[in-house]
Structure 1
């Protein structure tokens, strides 16, 4: 099978989540004997990265990477952001995507690589997928984080873009998004929460839940998925000084500022925060009087795995609605439980409802949960077992590929039978509208395909007949 991945950020020119999934899926497909190529926009990373350093990255053998670069530099992604079209990248994208050998064209973060216009490219015979890693389809700020201070409760997109110093995207108020999405065979979401939120805000069509996965070698070596007892337990070198870990881009919406002050009440433990970002100076200032708060900087995969393996718990204090939260899977792979904010969207689904972590709503509840993770070995061991089991089964590479293949085959069959399957989206003329809750269906009127049993009571596997 020949697979083309299309995304904005990738490899060393990336920030995390979406690029991590593209890399992991590409590696998994290569291991399975398929041919994979990745198209991404180098100009976009340079335009928005600020002081963020390139990530250490070594491409796997056999992966072909096409880095789009225009002589117009940052004007290329800016033109895409403003118009929803590839513009300066059109000829190169068309030459790559119209090749007759593609079996699957899988779009990811298309925000600056071509906007919804890029979805119109590519041979119609290929299965065309898109994974919604963020809320970009329904939020011009990508994250449903309103005015940089709270989750979005009611859309006021124009005001939010202005306050966020984001150039207004007038194309969103027309038919560009619906036209682009109509070219897809399926729109994928990593969590039930993300799927439901998009459906609630007007996205309809062939919506598919396909959870992320974590390969055994995600940290750089095989066997990174660690059995309980080797992570944060009594035989750890950190026994005399328990570690709590947190990781992510250091931005306000990640909520690290709600976690740091609590370490004043936990002198018996250290908090190690991995990551960099524009909010780092503020966070360091907040932590200055606390000797037990340590900033580890940007860690490699092996460095992050080592940190999580030594931690009593990984804390995910996200204030905005995450669509999955890869850090949860990375913690679970090291048999390390998670403490997660219930206001973090899909974090509750992935971290708490799996039985691998504790949820909290208030600072007092967070402090209580941290104390339990530090001092209650029996609780921690139970959560660690559940976490590892989830990672080895529901979020495993083999399970993910099986679901991926099943989906592609079902869509190929649909194409052979001549049935359309592209998603559609409704937009209010002034702002993204809330649609009433409903069960998303395929164009044929059947329930949506939900692949891979999610580890909670809402789970079900509905396959097309």
Structure 2
């Protein structure tokens, strides 16, 4: 197949899991022999704009007519079989869907967050779950509370874009990829068309080596923010330490608004290490050396890459028992689930995962099997190709091998992957 990937890259100042997922999917498809091109904008480029250009950015969030014209021209010239849309905020806008319609090319879209039903896409306000805008005819509560960056003014373009483009999204996308069943269920309850929503978990590249022994530390890897449960983790660890500890340190890797608080909390302690941001290789090494990975998020996570990465390395996870975590982690089998927002429950799980060596090792083996069955590159490629074929067939009358050029490129490529390595 010929695929055009559309993505507005997030700022490089903060590592983006979504950017990484997009890049890894592009590489996976190309390795499998598909012809993939990318149409993108970069949020980093905003800083280089003139003052007037920066002021105009919020006006482009609901609709960017220049992008519509540019993308439509590229689609007519290149005639891809399908367009795969990821993030369109802030420089692309839903005008990309109009461009697909102009050129007569089917579109699929991955929903990496909840921005179809929540202007900032987080379902969070003041560190707590918020669903005030879910199912509402207009997301006025988000504006009232200033849910995006704590600013009513900054929230307005997102709220306007969500309101005026809702039907365009729902009618202009042949297939939505939800990255968890939990996300899909919530979107269906909000009124999105169930028949267009398919579950396609993110895949994780195979790290090539699994944990060799029981590990040497407990690991938190992620954004240091209230919504990620960092304060609850610190409270739980203090409870564990007050009881004599568990014999291994807690390592926190990441950056974010709570960085100073975490640095001060970890200072002078032998049982805690704050290591700042890790590069990808350091992340893989830290995961593979973990007794367990901890994911205490207060948010209803749409997926949870760090949990899947732990599974790939044969490492169990301790995760909050809500959102996508409940389908990634089988409690007591591939890891442990704690009561969300409850430091005492989290502390209890930490004690269990670190002191029961035999159980921990068995959970790690089960986690690796779960990864191979659900989150490997082979599985990811199969689900991508299936989604593309469904979208192309829907756009061109239901023929399994239909494509704009009539050459049958939409047919399955299983068994003919370039290099024979399954895209790993």
- Asked if these proteins are the same fold (TM beyond 0.5), I'd say yes
Shift of 1:255: 1.0
Q: Give the Cα separation in 1 of the matches to 2:13 and 2:264.
A: 28
What residue number does 1:20 align with? 20
Note the 1:160-309 alignment, pairs <5 A: 160-161=145-146, 164-165=150-151, 166-169=154-157, 170-172=159-161, 174-204=163-193, 205-216=195-206, 224-227=207-210, 230=212, 232-233=213-214, 242-264=216-238, 265-266=240-241, 267=245, 268-288=247-267, 290-309=269-288
Q: Give the Cα separation in 2 of the matches to 1:368 and 1:162.
A: 34
- Describe the superposition over 1:158-186 as per-residue Cα deviations: whole angstroms up to 9, x where unpaired: 22326821331352474322123311111
Structure 1 residues not aligned, in runs of 5+: 49-68, 217-223, 237-241, 420-465
Q: Does 1:114 align with 2:119?
A: no
* Match of residue 292, structure 2, among 309, 313, 316: 313
Q: Give the Cα separation in 2 of the matches to 1:351 and 1:77.
A: 40
Runs of 4+ aligned residues of structure 1 deviating over 6 Å after TM superposition are none
* Match of residue 338, structure 1, among 307, 317, 323: 317
What residue number does 1:324 align with? 303
Q: Does 1:366 align with 2:346?
A: yes
Structure 2 residues not aligned, in runs of 5+: 134-140, 400-424
Shift of 1:341: 1.1
Q: 1:159 to 1:308 in 2, by over 3 A?
A: same
RMSD: 2.6
What residue number does 1:54 align with? none
Alignment partner of 1:7: what SS?
strand
What residue number does 1:407 align with? 387
Greater fraction helix: 2
What residue number does 1:355 align with? 333
Q: Give the Cα separation in 1 of the matches to 2:343 and 2:13.
A: 35
TM-score (norm 1): 0.75
How many residue pairs get aligned? The number is: 378
* Match of residue 143, structure 2, among 131, 151, 158: 158
Q: Give the Cα separation in 2 of the matches to 1:87 and 1:297.
A: 41
Alignment partner of 1:384: what SS?
helix
What residue number does 2:404 align with? none
- Describe the superposition over 1:206-263 as per-residue Cα deviations: whole angstroms up to 9, x where unpaired: 11111111122xxxxxxx24345x1x52xx6xxxxx3100111222211111112333
Shift of 1:367: 1.1
- Describe the superposition over 1:293-318 as per-residue Cα deviations: whole angstroms up to 9, x where unpaired: 22222212111010011110000010
